[in-house]
Amino acid sequence: GKKVGCPFYEQTGQVVAGGNGGGPALNQFSTDRFYVDDSQNIYLLDQSPPNTCEWRFLVWPANSSQARLITNFCTNEASLSLHDVLVSPDDCSFCISNNRFTAVLYKGVYGLQHNGEIKLSDYTGWLDLVNSGKATKDEKAIISGMAVNEGNLDSVQAYDSVIVSAGAMQKIVSISGGGEFEVQVYEFQQENPQAYNKLFEKCGWSVSPRKIISFKGKTGSILKKYLREDSTKGSNGESEALGPLVCAISSPEFQLKQIKDFITRLHIVLRIIPDGFNYTIADYFKSHLGQATALDQHVNLPAAVKNNVSTALNNFYKKNANAPKNPNNWIVEQRSTYEREILEDYGLHRTMTDPEKRYNKLKTAFSLP
């Protein structure tokens, strides 16, 4: 099938309200070119106004209450169809040509980076998750606010010490296998095999029961070297392997997987009991800022969370010997003061890269207790 005739697309993140009929407005459609995939996601290709080169490509994820404008583009291909764009035999080629990578130098070797466009805060499925009871409004607020520090949902990089990092949490593919991204893709394979086959295996990516990911049979150090071949300074090129990976992780199905994993991780963090104490992080940190600060560290260095929170608590109780040891006994007036003091110590002194910078960014997204 023939592809859209432009080198790459600019994702705008605009929301579609629905409706039909002629006109340039975002909620006015003048086309019958739509496609429903096996997962019930609806895609719409609209030429607006008619008889011009201006087209819009939109997706309405399954079980979502909102559609999303993926891109505007220009082509004079009058017979262009969604089947051409989405389901032709060479749709992996479409992903390769549509996703561009910049070269990044790391320890004398160039690798590739795609920053992506879809922020955590741009995820369109929150309303359905909250209404169905699969997420709470607090979880939505905390995870959406994490966007100031996390990668984009469609970000992929292959230039540093690991094979690949992908998604909002930049989960990794490790040399020895069993990396967090490999586990995530394996779980996705088990939970949604049809989407896994379409998004990963069809374009050469697969994951084994041992949670080792491969591209066309290449794994480990061989895969790492392959992904970095032909990367040169200043390049803005394609990648046979990484282009389809961007398509896979930016699909509505895998975006949902990423969000659910964030929710699961938040639950894990809130159950952590700091070293030497008897109560959970959820007991000490009731604010969105406090819980997001602990989650922020857990994404980067999970093993350090319980010790670092413990250190901040010990410092607090040295200065406030009469404060109740059980945080659930803090009265309303105490909680705001106590949590703020603990958090200002913990947030700035976490064992991780750029703790102060990251904490200050979180404070722009959340208010202090």
Span 260-284, pLDDT tens digits: 999 999 999 999 999 999 999 999 9
Is residue 198 assigned to a domain? yes
Mean pLDDT of 77-106: 70
Q: Is residue 233 part of a domain?
A: yes
> Do 125 and 240 fall into the same domain?
yes
Of residues 58 and 95, the one with the higher pLDDT is 95
Query: Which has more confidence, 11 or 95?
Result: 95
At residue 3 the predicted structure's pLDDT band, cuts being 50, 70 and 90, is: very low
Q: Are residues 229 and 120 in the same domain?
A: yes
3-class state of residue 154 by DSSP: coil
CA dist 169 and 153 (Å) reads 8
pLDDT score recorded for residue 52: 58
Domain membership flag for residue 216: yes
Using CA atoms, how far apart are residues 47 and 51, in angstroms rounded to an integer?
A: 7
Taking CA 70 as the corner, what is the angle to CA 112 and CA 147, rounded to the nearest 5 degrees?
60
Is residue 343 within 8 A of residue 336, CB to CB? The reply is: no
Q: Are residues 246 and 130 part of one domain?
A: yes
- The pLDDT of residue 42: 78
DSSP 8-state symbol, 336: H
- Domain ends where: 206, 225, 258? 258
6 assigned to some structural domain = no
Q: Please identify which residue in the block is written with the tokens 């945080």.
A: 327
Confidence of residue 230 (pLDDT cuts 50, 70, 90): confident
Is 2 contained in some domain?
Answer: no
Looking at the fold, whether 41 and 120 belong to one and the same domain comes out as no
Residue with more model confidence, 59 or 166:
166
Q: Do 332 and 200 sit in the same domain of this protein? A: no
For residue 292, the enclosing domain spans 271-365
- Residue 6: name the closest of 83, 114, 98, 116 by CA: 98
Last residue of a domain, one of 258, 282, 312: 258
Residue 87 pLDDT grade (very low, low, confident, very high; cuts 50, 70, 90): very low
Q: Which pLDDT value is given to residue 11?
A: 47
In a domain, 71, yes or no: yes
- Residues 101, 235, single domain; the answer is yes
| Most confident residue range from 30-39, 61-70, 325-334 | 325-334
Domain count, the chain: 3
For the ranges 89-98, 226-235, 248-257, 314-323, the lowest mean pLDDT is seen at 89-98
Segment 107-133 shows an average pLDDT of 93
Provide the percentage of residues in the chain whose pLDDT is more than 90: 69
pLDDT for 74 equals: 60
- Rounded to an integer, the average pLDDT of 324-335 is 96
Same domain, 108 and 227: yes
Q: pLDDT at residue 97 above 50?
A: yes
Phi then psi dihedrals of residue 302, to 5 deg: -60, -35
Average pLDDT over residues 169-177: 97
Q: At residue 88, does pLDDT exceed 70?
A: no
- Kindly state whether residues 179 and 211 are assigned to the same domain: yes
The span from the CA of 143 to the CA of 265, in Å, is 10
pLDDT reported for residue 233: 74
Q: How far apart are the first and last CA of the chain?
A: 56
pLDDT at 90: 53
Q: Which residue has the higher pLDDT, 196 or 87?
A: 196
What's residue 84's pLDDT? Answer: 47
Question: With 0-12 CB in 10 A as exposed, 13-18 as middle and 19+ as buried, what is 32?
Answer: exposed
Residue 73: pLDDT band with limits 50, 70, 90: low
Q: Considering 237, 258, 279, which residue would you say is the last residue of a domain?
A: 258
Mean pLDDT over the full length of the chain: 86
Q: At a CB cut-off of 8 Å and minimum separation 6, what does 89 contact?
A: 1
Average pLDDT over residues 177-191: 98
Confidence of residue 366 (pLDDT cuts 50, 70, 90): very high
Q: Maximum distance among all alpha carbons in the chain?
A: 76
What pLDDT was estimated at residue 336?
A: 95
280 belongs to a structural domain? yes
Residue 107 sits in the same domain as residue 184? yes
83 pLDDT higher than 70: no
pLDDT at 71 over 70: no
